[in-house]
Structure 1
Amino acid sequence: MAKSYYIIYKPYRMLSQFTQEHPDHITLAHLELGFPKDVYPVGRLDADSEGLLLLSNDNLLKTRLLAPKNAHWRYYLVQVEGEPQEEDLEKLRAGGLSIKLPSKKRYACLPAKAERLEQPPALPERDPPVRFRANIPTTWLRIGLREGKNRQIRKMTAAIGFPTLRLLRHQIGQWKMPEYMQAGDCIHLTAEEAQTLLK
């Protein structure tokens, strides 16, 4: 069986699945990109998040990417309300930040990478746009995680007092999403390029 690898820029409000379980749901099938029937998402992004999503039929790659023991880095561009300082970001870097899982249990996050961006990243406008409050400034952060709990980054930034407004995954391993990509775009990766996701 030929191995196929695709990177898409998942749009905001689109589910990371092909099956439409409710008439109002927007799914990957709406992209109409003609993926082979044996190709499925590797991991996921929640509906409120955008950006890099891998689709493949390579089960070994899926296992290597998703196994917690392999701890591959994923990087996100995150717009938050307010202006976090170094001491706030250090709470993300230190590890142990407590968030609540869907099971209602508390979870202590692994150490993250976190930096403040001095300039907003070059991203296409979101549809619909983020709602801003004129009297509250916003800040862009770059956050790296080696894990992927449910809505983890949103819960982490909220836990340190800076709610997430926009969240976009732009890098897995060494593979970084090109700036020219727009919501709904797709890139067909070679097997060699797909391996950079693991590094």
Structure 2
Amino acid sequence: MIRILLADDQALVRGALAALLGLEPDLEVVAEIGAGDLVLPAVLEHRPDVALLDVEMPGLDGLSAAAQLREEAPRTRVLIVTTFGRPGFLRRALQAGVSGFVVKDTPAAELAEAVRRVHAGLRVVDPKLATDSLVAGESPLTQRETEVLRAARDGATVAVIASRLVLSEGTVRNHLSSAIGKTGATTRAEAVLTADANGWL
């Protein structure tokens, strides 16, 4: 029996996934949680073989939770199951040590098979997403430019971003300008949208 933990902030999605996977004779959902910061404690408590994580969750995103599991509970393999099939997310997920990455509209039988393959030590990646990731390439942004764009997501002023990141306003302007150039945008709002769409943030 393959023991599964489900982490998704949408209760309806969690319930549907649990019901579908529960129909498989060799799969058992042992825990369901709705926030990323609850993943590690739940894994340590329930010892699942495979953790199915969404990318965007409150508390901690799925990619950060996956990185935590790699460090603290390496025997639990991670399969990302998300609506956000963006090339940058796939690249970041693989860097975080996940074993698989599929989108939520994957048919139930394929998802169950993905769980089995990940449990067997194989890597499973949505083929279209893998192609898109190769075409898109790596993020052109430095770590600091990424942080500055993340802080600019809500339309914050340069002064507010500088305060949040403990940087000077001049440094923030320089990073924003560089990020705008690298994303081919004309404004920082456009740079945020472009970076977000590619999964770089």
Task: Give the TM-score of the pair, scaled to structure 2.
Answer: 0.24
Task: Give the TM-score of the pair, scaled to structure 1.
Answer: 0.25
Structure with bigger RCO (C-alpha 8 Å, 6+ apart): 1
Whose radius of gyration is greater, 1 or 2? 2
Identify the structure with the greater strand proportion.
1
